[in-house]
Structure 1
Amino acid sequence: MVWSVSEYAERLGVSRAAAYKRVRSGQVGAYRAGSQWVVPKVAIAAPRASSRPMSPENAVRLLSRFSGVEIEMPEPVARRRIAEKLGALRSEDADLQRLWSWVRSRAPRLELSANAADLADLLRDPRLARSGLSDARAGIAASGVAEGYVSPADVDALVRDYLLVESERPNVWLHVADIPDDASAEVPIGFVIADLLDHGGPRELGRAAELLAEHAG
């Protein structure tokens, strides 16, 4: 069973342009049937928007608190809503779809291409905090790619230094935001889970579900 690109976009809650970008990237196993792209229904396991996203600031706060990282909290109303969502995650009342819906606007996500020979240096660059596919805790063997968080103050220089360019077949994903470190000086695990959800593939979703269950207690 398959979906058209329009149906795929509707299921994900994204624009047709965004859906086509995923289709052409090769990450969802789409293929051509005659002159049309089709998407296997297994790819629709990917979470789709089911509620309004939190503000970027509150999404960062939620993921940080979920990860056990203390962070300055906002005014009482927003603090209560964050606490409610955190409680839902910890009680397993919130699934991957709801989590992704809440935090999908946490940071701009740049899809870029780099020379394969430069990826090792990019991953070692202190301006990049490894996350998602490039975080060892994800448990996914993803050689030939780089993913992580970079401060808005550093992103232009990082893009320039590694000659990164926008691409429909990216091997670099940069999440542009200032986020805290956890106690081990790593990206808090909540962000790793959210980044895996962005990819939407079966193995990424599977690991996101395992990590959410592991750290929800």
Structure 2
Amino acid sequence: MGAVSVAQAAERLGVSVPRIHQRIADGSLSAKRIGSQWVVDERSLLRIQERSKAGRPYSARSAWAVIAASEDDSDLVGVSGPAVSARVRMRLQRLLEPAAEPVAHEEVIRQLVVSLRSVLRNRAGRRLLRAAPADLADLRADERWAMIVDLGSSGIASPDVEGYLAESLVEGILKDYLLVESDRDANVVLHVVSDGQYPYPDSRLRLAADLAEHRGPREEARAAELLHELALEWKAGE
């Protein structure tokens, strides 16, 4: 994705130009100066647009409960009683119902992944980092990962490292591999979860959320396909 002018960003968000400059100053909107003008990163702009339009995100606990429900993990879903279990299953149904029909149009895919990114956003803190290319193999093999994300299992190969890591282990990983924050040239995607959180390594719903957060057309299309598969199974099971 490219960049847009401050005026264009203000128009798309429905705010004033000074408000865009405020967002740039406080870091909530990525931008860079070219000559005497600021240009706004379009990917950053899309994130803000989505958050203003999409549904309210679930808490981390609720997000993982919905993922558990998609795996039919009755032990976790029902841990707080039948009323909570019913609410979790209703949330899963609302997420999957729009994907019950075959996903063929770009706008349908867009709507599905926007909703998915929004409601499951709090399942983990997502950090984009940069490692020395020579360290990627050792980083991928590090035993501290709660789970390495295998995008290849979805049909989308990636040379990068992506995985789920317990919060208490983050600083050690950052230090040992000299990882630095990096948005544009990141080769490490770190999903930070609370200690003890099971990341459901075989969950298609969790994988769909991981893919959707990459925001590429192939990843978004595959995420929508996974939602469709789950929706059909859910409908048949109900």
TM category, shorter: 0.7 to 0.9
Note the aligned Cα RMSD (angstroms).
3.5
CA distance in 2: counterparts of 1:121 and 1:19, whole angstroms:
34
Unaligned segments of structure 1, at least 5 residues: 25-31
Query: How does the TM-score come out when normalised to structure 1?
Result: 0.73
Deviations 1:15-43 (A, max 9, x none): 664552xx88xxxxxxx8x95546679x9
- The higher relative CO (CA closer than 8 Å, separation ≥ 6) is in 1
Residue 85 (str. 1) matches residue 87 (str. 2): no
User: Which of 147, 166, 172 does residue 157 from structure 1 map onto?
Assistant: 172
Report the counterpart of residue 191 of structure 2 in structure 1. 175
Instruction: Give the CA deviation at 1:98.
Output: 2.1
Q: State the 1:51 CA deviation.
A: 1.6
Secondary structure of 1:200 counterpart: coil
1:130 touches 1:187 (CA, 8 Å); kept in 2? Answer: no
Asked if 1:48 is matched to 2:50, the reply is: yes
Shift of 1:138: 2.8
Partner-residue secondary structure (3-state), 1:59: helix
Amino acid at match of 1:80: A
Tell me: CA distance 1:77–1:69, structure 2 relative to 1, closer, same or farther (3 Å).
closer
Within the alignment, does 1:214 sit opposite 2:215 as a pair? no
**1:104 and 2:150 correspond:** no
The corresponding residue for 1:202 is: 217
Q: 2:161 aligns with which of 143, 146, 153?
A: 146
Return the offset for 1:118: 0.8
Counterpart CA distance in 2 for 1:137 and 1:72 is: 25
Q: Would the alpha carbon gap of residues 157 and 44 (structure 1) be closer, same or farther in structure 2, given more than 3 Å must change? A: closer
Deviation at 1:67, TM superposition (A): 3.2
Q: Residues of 2 paired with 1:101 and 1:195: CA distance?
A: 12
Aligned equivalents of 2:70 and 2:55: distance in 1? 19
Identity, % of aligned pairs? 32
CA distance in structure 2 between the partners assigned to 1:196 and 1:18 by the alignment = 23
Which residue does 1:136 correspond to in 2?
152
Could you list the per-position Cα deviations for residues 161-187 of structure 1 after superposition, in whole angstroms to 9, with x for gaps in the alignment? Answer: 2111222332111111144265xxx35
8 A contact 1:3–1:40 mirrored in 2: yes
Larger helix percent = 2
Matching residue's letter, 2:95: L
1:189 to partner: Cα distance:
2.2
1:22-76 alpha-carbon deviations (Å, 9 max, x no partner): x88xxxxxxx8x95546679x9699923121111111011122213444423355
Taking the aligned partners of 1:39 and 1:72, their CA distance within structure 2 comes to 40
